[in-house]
Structure 1
C-alpha cells in the first residue's frame, strides 16, 4: 500500500507541477489559445490564474517533500485534502462551461487525492 500511495502522490505532484508552471509562467492569452479547455480563462483575472498556478506549485511540493525530507510529513495528506478542494472548484467551473470531459478529469484527480489523504491519514501514515 505504501508503494501505491507514493506512486499516486508522484503522479498527482507531476500533474500539479505541470499545471502550476503553465499557469504561473505562461501569459494568460497564450495559455487560453493553447489550451483546449481554456474558456474559463476568459472569465478569470491574470492575478487569479497566477494564484492558482502558485497553489498548484505548492501542492506539488507538499505532496512529496514533507515525506522525503521527514519534516512535517503530516502535510502530505493535508495537501491532498487541499487538492481535493481545489479540484472541486475546477470541476464546478468546467461543468458550468459544459466542459464535461475536463470535469471528469478533475473527478479523477479528486479520487487520486482522496486516496492519498485516506491512505496517509489512516492506512499508512508517516511516523516521525
Structure 2
C-alpha cells in the first residue's frame, strides 16, 4: 500500500510540475492556442500564472514533506487541495464541452483522493 501511495503521489507530482511550469512560463496567448488551453482567454495572465505556481507548489507538497520527514501530513493535505483544483478544472473544461480534458481531470482527482485516503488513514507515514 505504501509503495502504491508513493507511486501515485509521484505521478501526481510530475503532472503538477509539468502543468504548473507550462502555465507559469508560457505566455497566455500561446497557451490559448493549444488544445485544452482556450479557457485561458477568459482568465487574466496573472491568474494563469498563479494557477501555475499553485501546481508547482502541489508538486512539492506531494513529495517533499514525506521525503524529508518534515510535516508529512502535508502530503494528504496537498492531495485534498489538488482535488479542489481538479474539480474546478473539470467544471471549466466541462462547461466548454472539452470532455476529454474533464475526464483527465477526473482521473487526477480520483488519484488524489486515493492519496488523501491512504495517507490520512491506513498508509500514514507514522504508523
TM over 0.5: yes
**Match of residue 16 from structure 1:** 16
1:32 CA displacement: 1.7
**Aligned equivalents of 2:118, 2:4: Cα separation in 1:** 9
Q: Deviations over 1:16-50 (max 9, x none)?
A: 000000000111111222x2011101111001100
Aligned CA RMSD, in angstroms, stands at: 0.9
Q: Runs of 5+ in structure 2 lacking a partner?
A: none
**Aligned equivalents of 1:38, 1:59: Cα separation in 2:** 20
2:79 aligned with 1:80, yes or no?
Answer: yes
In the TM superposition, what are the counterparts of 1:109-120 in structure 2 within 5 Å?
Answer: 109-120=108-119
In the TM superposition, what are the counterparts of 1:47-126 in structure 2 within 5 Å?
Answer: 47-126=46-125
**Aligned equivalents of 1:27, 1:6: Cα separation in 2:** 33
Output the TM-score relative to the length of structure 2. 0.98
1:126 CA displacement: 1.2
Number of residue pairs matched by the alignment: 127
The runs of 4+ residues in structure 1 deviating greater than 4 Å are none
**Aligned equivalents of 2:32, 2:22: Cα separation in 1:** 11
Q: What is the SS of the residue equivalent to 1:123?
A: coil
Q: What is the SS of the residue equivalent to 2:121?
A: helix
